[in-house]
Chain A
Amino acid sequence: MALIFSLAIGIMAGAGIYLLLRPRTFQVIIGLSLLGYAVNLFIFGMGRLQTGVPPIITPGSAAQYADPVPQALVLTAIVIGFATLSLFLVVLLAARGLSGTDHVDGKETDEN
């Protein structure tokens, strides 16, 4: 399980990093989104992977639960990630309207 989980993080992070370095704003926003998934999964993984033990307490039983701390952190991160993504989207739309291009620098510097 851990292997697949780690590979998933790696693939999404790699795709995200590659896209972040691209010149078009749309590429960057998709990259940001993918990198966000990877980082969220990574933080979530810090609580280790357990199946079938959600941190919902059953009163009276002394059962083992999954670590709730990374989950709370990631829940916050998902919402804040949505906020930054939408802000970025609007900034890129406004920049496109103002500069007439969707290059991240607001002007066509070179072909890539």
Chain B
Amino acid sequence: MSLFLILVLPFLGSLCAALLPTNARNAEAWLAGIVAASVSALILWQLPAIETNGALYYEQIWSPTLKIAFQLRMDGFAWLFALLVALIGLLVVFYARYYMSPEDPVPRFFAFLLAFMGAMLGIVLSGNLLQLAMFWELTSLASFMLIAYWHHRQDARTGARMALTVTGMGGLAMLGGMLLIGHIVGSYEIDAVLAAAEQIKAHAWYPAIVCLIALGALTKSAQFPFHFWLPHAMAAPTPVSAYLHSATMVKAGVFLLARLWPVLAGSDLWFWLIGGSGLVTLLLGGYLALLQNDMKGLLAYSTISHLGLITLLLGMNSELALVAAVFHIVNHATFKASLFMAAGIVDHETGTRDIRRLSGLRLAMPLTAALAGVAAAAMAGVPLLNGFLSKEMFFSETVMLARPEWQRILLPVVATLAGMFSVAYSLRFIHGAFFGPPTTDLPQTPHDPTRWMLLPSALLVAACLLVGVLPGATVGPYLHLATDALLGAQAPIYDLAMWHGVNLPLLMSLVALFGGITLYQFVLQPYGQKLPSLRQLDGKTAFTWLLRTLNVTADRLLQLISSTRLQTQILVLILACLAAGLPFLAEPLLPGTQAMPWPHPAFVLLWLMGGACALGAAWFAKYQRLAALILSGGAGLATSLTFVWFSAPDLALTQLAVEVVTVVLILLGLRWLPRGNPPPSGRGSLRAQLRRSRDFLLALLGGGGLAALSYAILSRPAPTQLADFFTQNALPLGGGQNVVNVILVDFRGFDTFGEITVLGIVALTVYALLRRFRPAPESTLLPAQQQLQAAEAPTPFSQQLGDKLPAGYLMLPAVLVRLLLPMAVLVSLYFLLRGHHEPGGGFVGGLIFATTIILQYLISGIGWLEARLRIRPVYWIACGLLAAASAGLLATFNGAPFLKSQGWHGALPWLGEVHLSSVLLFDLGVYMLVVGATVLILIAIAHQTLRTTAARTAAGQEARQWH
């Protein structure tokens, strides 16, 4: 349980931090500090249990069918790493409290920092590989947000994007490797994978696995050739660099390599791939660090170099080298975090990080200078400090390498050279910034910061010293614990001590030390700016080229295979539909054997008219919109009658009601379309004619195909199982006689619930779209018919707000529709209530109600009606959804599945025997929603006339002023 707490606390903290107000700098820091401190304490608390049991586990069911559980596992190695993450996190939070300026939005900073801490702990504590990969990606995302924290800066955005792309691609490769491992082992659990080491090494996929996992680890740990992202990530605030880019995130790569070391290491491939990349990175990073003028840039390249050292150690296929690697991970984290903090302090106090501008700061900032000096000495590998110890172990490993002669000679030489670089850039960092004559032309006058800001750095430096002097008494037992966890019985015996007597590694150290001083004094200082920058080896060029090429190619491809023109898109769609129908051509399109009754003459007549209407609508749609609309309504009417004919009363009713509403809707819309032009005299260009012929052919094919298909199906017997199930169970299970209604509100109630939700969303979308509606200027004029009327009679149409009835010819219709209103409402309720047993239901009832409302609008006008009757469709929609949802929840409260119908039968005073069902409530919800949605859509369109009336009045006044 405490393992779970360790992982969850940072995420909870992140959530809380995100919710605090922007200026809550202290509260944020306290929150983050408390979280980091409690996580550290929890981790420390696990130590005795790990010492006795070896590893702690926590498991939670996640996906049993995929055989994946949420597993946490903490062994000695994970413990050491987690402690590192938590403790340095605590110090960084402390530091950040003083570093971040009051203008920075700190909630975002601390929220992502804590989320990152949680993700990193997730990597370390994951008990299976897939979960590890998930947290791995989470660290990439959190680091993206942190690098881009100052997102108004171009370099921050570029750096963040680059880091995310590189590490994200690596993570994808790593996931592939993990899937391969899981396939071989049959499990993703780390214990199972570790146990199957021999099986994996012997498998044919082993090379592929090594390459994929290496891709993940090398990108994350910024190893050659993927190292280029790290310097660009320095655009992040310094606390982020101190945490992510020295102590934690970049260490995730080497963590993974160490974790899987027992499984993957030991082969030549591993040596060349991991060791080779590490070696090149070690040298290249060290060399490039020499050339940097930005303090953070120098630290970034030195981090790359030190990570190269760790990677090289991991690639050497020796247990002792693994121990050295783990030791150096810890040491590097302590001194590098402290150095980053120092660079941040210098930046904070002087306003610049340029080593060329800085000089002699030791006088102004003595404490900072002292701390940075000790930490830099640790980085250089000066005796009595922790960096010396692990470097010594590295040197002795290079000497002992069990490889062919030339490699055994080359490696120590290269190692010494890298050591010289390390000494030289450490010197540059300290000597360049803190020594020499004091400068005066800095943006700010430097002085030591508040002691609290120095404290984290001081603690880290103290750790460097303590470990350096008394390694056995301080870090020794925990290092044993970690390496035992990694290697088990194969853990080597080693001796952590400062003094091993005069031997080759010591000599190498001395050579590196003096060589480095010489290098700095006689090469770097005089010729530093003239050294070759090795820009060709920078992967950034390749990276940007690759990204650009990808983008350009994608654009070209998109242009090639897609079109922005709707007609082309629809053409492709229709061709695809036709192609989908091709398989039916083989045999079944022939009519079946079912006997067909002769068509009834009335039915033939009906479809003579229906067909003529459909063809007429197609013919008139371009030039005579009103005619086309009426004809299309005629086709809808024929459809509705067909439903009646073939035993579907519910459909007929719904179709009829929808038909009315649709026609009214489009009629309201017609007003805003451009004035129809008379048809041209000729037949248009050849191109247009060809296109029309092509479309005609397609229509013929589509329509003919669909007709043939339906005839072929209709002349075959129907399968009946589904129909029989519903007709037999509608009454016993659903308690309704109208099977269609029972299906809608009961058997498939959830579908209907979704459907009415869609309807509500559409109505709101229509409303939202029309709020910003701008009619075309020509449409704002009074329609031609109304102009005619206005010429004949003064106020025939509009009615003064006070009048009971309109004056002109609309008086009679007005009386009628007002009489109609209560009756229509009654009828709609009648249809709603009887729907469960007879044709009807919420849809039909709601549509009838909506039609009455819109009739009122049509006859009385918006102003008159809304002064008296105010419909609030949005409330209707909300109430409808609520009613339907509560009908569903009623079942849940009764312990039944969501939306299962719940009945109650009993006697009530006055009313007698009553049967109440949740189905009625559900149908009532449908009813209200349909009313709300339909009315909202219709009224929204109708209201647009008000907009133009206002526009017309304004335009009229303007015109009058002109004349």
Binding site for B on A (CB under 8 A): 1-31, 33-34, 37-38, 40-42, 44-59, 65-69, 71-72, 74-76, 78-87, 89-94, 96-98, 100-102, 104-105, 109-112
Contacts and interface: CB of A to CB of B under 8 A. Distances in A.
B950 interface: no
Contacts of A4: 599, 603-604, 607
Contacts of B738: 55-57
B566 A76 contact: no
Given A38-B706, A57-B730, 20 more contacts: A3-B711, A4-B604, A7-B611, A14-B702, A18-B618, A18-B695, A21-B698, A24-B622, A29-B666, A38-B703, A47-B718, A51-B645, A56-B838, A75-B843, A79-B843, A82-B661, A93-B673, A97-B779, A112-B688, A112-B691
Contacts of A110: 687-688
B704 interface: yes
A57 B737 contact: yes
Given A18-B699, A49-B646, A83 B762 contact: yes
B731 A59 contact: yes
B622 A1 contact: no
B775 interface: yes
Interface string B593-620: 0001111100110010011001101100
B739 interface: yes
Interface string B898-914: 00000000000000000
B685 interface: yes
B723 A44 contact: no
Contacts of B598: 1
Given A20-B570, A22-B621, A34-B614, A10 B662 contact: no
A40 to B, nearest CB: 7
Interface in B724-771: 726-727, 730-731, 737-740, 743-744, 748, 751-752, 755, 758-759, 762-763, 765-766, 769-770
Nearest to A98: B774
Contacts of B743: 68-69, 72
A56 B837 contact: yes
Contact of B714 (A11, A45, A79, A111): A45
Question: Is the contact region of chain A dominated by helix, strand, or loop, or is it mixed?
Answer: helix
Nearest to A64: B727
Interface in B612-638: 614-615, 617-618, 621-622, 625, 628-629, 632, 635-636, 638
A45 B651 CA distance: 13
Interface residues of B, number: 115
A10 B712 CA distance: 13
Contact of B703 (A11, A57, A79): A11
B503 interface: no
29 contacts: A2-B596, A3-B711, A4-B599, A5-B714, A17-B702, A18-B618, A18-B699, A19-B617, A33-B662, A37-B635, A48-B718, A51-B647, A54-B648, A55-B740, A56-B738, A57-B727, A57-B731, A57-B737, A65-B647, A72-B743, A75-B843, A78-B658, A79-B930, A80-B759, A84-B762, A97-B773, A105-B564, A109-B565, A111-B688
Interface of B: 564-567, 570-571, 574, 596-600, 603-604, 607, 610-611, 614-615, 617-618, 621-622, 625, 628-629, 632, 635-636, 638-639, 642-643, 645-651, 654-655, 658, 661-662, 665-666, 669, 672-674, 684-685, 687-688, 691-692, 695-696, 698-700, 702-704, 706-711, 713-715, 718, 720, 722-723, 726-727, 730-731, 737-740, 743-744, 748, 751-752, 755, 758-759, 762-763, 765-766, 769-770, 772-776, 779, 837-839, 843, 930, 933, 937, 940-941
B718 A67 contact: yes
A7 B758 CA distance: 33
B612 to A, nearest CB: 9
B741 to A, nearest CB: 9
Contacts of B740: 55, 68, 71-72, 75
Contact of B766 (A24, A31, A87): A87
Contact of A6 (B628, B672, B707): B707
Given A1-B603, A8-B611, A26 B574 contact: no
A10 B704 contact: yes
Given A57-B731, A75-B744, A96 B739 contact: no
Nearest to B623: A24
Question: Is the contact region of chain B dominated by helix, strand, or loop, or is it mixed?
Answer: helix
A72 B744 contact: yes
Contact of A57 (B618, B688, B739): B739
Contact of B759 (A54, A56, A83): A83
A15 B615 contact: yes
Nearest to B714: A2
A105 B261 CA distance: 60
A90 to B, nearest CB: 5
A10 B751 contact: no
Contacts of A57: 727, 730-731, 737-739
A5 B773 CA distance: 42
Contact of A85 (B629, B662, B673): B662
Contact of B643 (A44, A69, A91): A44
B722 A15 contact: no
B691 A11 contact: no
Contacts of A87: 762, 765-766
A41 B639 contact: yes
Which of A49, A52, A110 counts the most B-chain CB atoms under 10 A from its CB?
A49
Nearest to B598: A1
A54 to B, nearest CB: 4
A7 B610 CA distance: 11
Contacts of A109: 565
A52 B639 contact: no
A69 B722 contact: yes
Contacts of B614: 11-12, 15-16, 34, 37
A9 B570 contact: no
B924 to A, nearest CB: 16
A20 B577 CA distance: 14
A42 B635 contact: no
B672 A5 contact: no
A69 B673 contact: no
8 nearest A-B pairs in the assembled complex, by CB-CB distance: A14-B703, A10-B707, A112-B688, A18-B699, A2-B714, A68-B739, A15-B618, A6-B711
B710 A45 contact: yes
B731 to A, nearest CB: 5
Contacts of A111: 684-685, 688
Contacts of A38: 703, 706
Contact of B706 (A2, A13, A69): A13
A100 B603 CA distance: 44
Contacts of B684: 111-112
Given A3-B599, A13-B702, A111-B684, A93 B647 contact: no
A96 to B, nearest CB: 6
Contacts of A2: 596, 710-711, 714-715
Contacts of A21: 567, 570-571, 574, 695, 698-699
A11 B649 CA distance: 24
Given A7-B607, A68-B743, A76-B755, A56 B565 contact: no
A28 to B, nearest CB: 8
Nearest to B777: A100
A68 B647 CA distance: 10
Nearest to A27: B621
Nearest to A109: B565
A101 B674 CA distance: 7
A31 B878 CA distance: 33
Given A57-B739, A80-B758, A93 B610 contact: no
Contact of B650 (A69, A75, A98, A102): A75
